[in-house]
Amino acid sequence: MRTLVTGGAGFVGSNLVDRLIEKGHDVTILDNLLTGKKENINPKAKWINMDVRDSLEDLEKVDVIFHLAALARIQPSFKNPAESFDINLGGTVNICEFARKSGARIVYAGSSSFYAGPYLNPYSFTKWQSEEVCKMYSEVYDLPTAIARFFNVYGYRQTFEGAYATVVGIFERQYRDNEPLTITDDGEQRRDFTHVDDIVSGLIKMSEDDNWRGEIFNLGTGKNHSINELASLYNHQTTYIPKRPGEARITLADLSFSKEKLNYEPSKTLENYVKNWLEENK
């Protein structure tokens, strides 16, 4: 397939690009490195340094667009909601217009934060509204679209510092630096931690059918762990910090539809990942 991956220099996007290239696909990356990293870019892919809101008229036609580019995470969206709307929602409209005119199908990266309530923060709202944009283009223009909702992704190339860091990434950095693992609130909030390899497998399965019209596929594991349980796997000192606004108490993927329609079966476990990571970082 000829594929376009927006956000292909980011955490999930770069892992997806690597897998697509391994499978022999022709891959173009669209990423302005706002949050992505140049070192994540696979040299076998064509990289276009462009904002997802820019004109796409000169781009070559592709078969599939994996639309992962977004201003991610809940907490940063509180500080500048207008930017979240502009990039996340405006960028999705731009991608759908390009797909409509060029005959591509779209696999869109939504967010499981919808399940906690789309009105809790600007990020969740813009990701949900972008899903609705995809559905509208399917309804009105018969554009093939499939929507993935990621559940708490971790793994290779995850972010360790700053506003976009994953909790697993933060714990790894703190462990290496011999700092206490920082646990928000009481640590009993539960998350469906999903390895990036399983997310990538689900995305590729979604891309192999052009009959989707806005269907939503949960990509998780169907199991969850408390933050305290995650911290205990590191057998390291911990400290507690105040609760943060806009975040879910529990995330847990219902995989019934994804298993039925995609034969999606996650294979990675959090326990094995942390065990192997600790062995490698003795």
| Active site residues per annotation | 123
Tokens (6 digits) for 260: 């039925």
Segment (H or E) for 93: helix 91-102
Alpha carbon distance, N-terminus to C-terminus of the chain: 42
Residue (of 244, 83, 253) closest to 170 by Cα position: 244
CA dihedral 93, 95, 101, 107 (to 10 degrees): -110
Q: In a 3-state reduction of DSSP, which class is residue 213?
A: strand
CA gap 134, 106 in Å, rounded: 8
Residue 248, CB half-sphere, CA atoms under 13 Å: how many?
A: 21
Residue (of 150, 237, 148, 160) closest to 191 by Cα position: 150
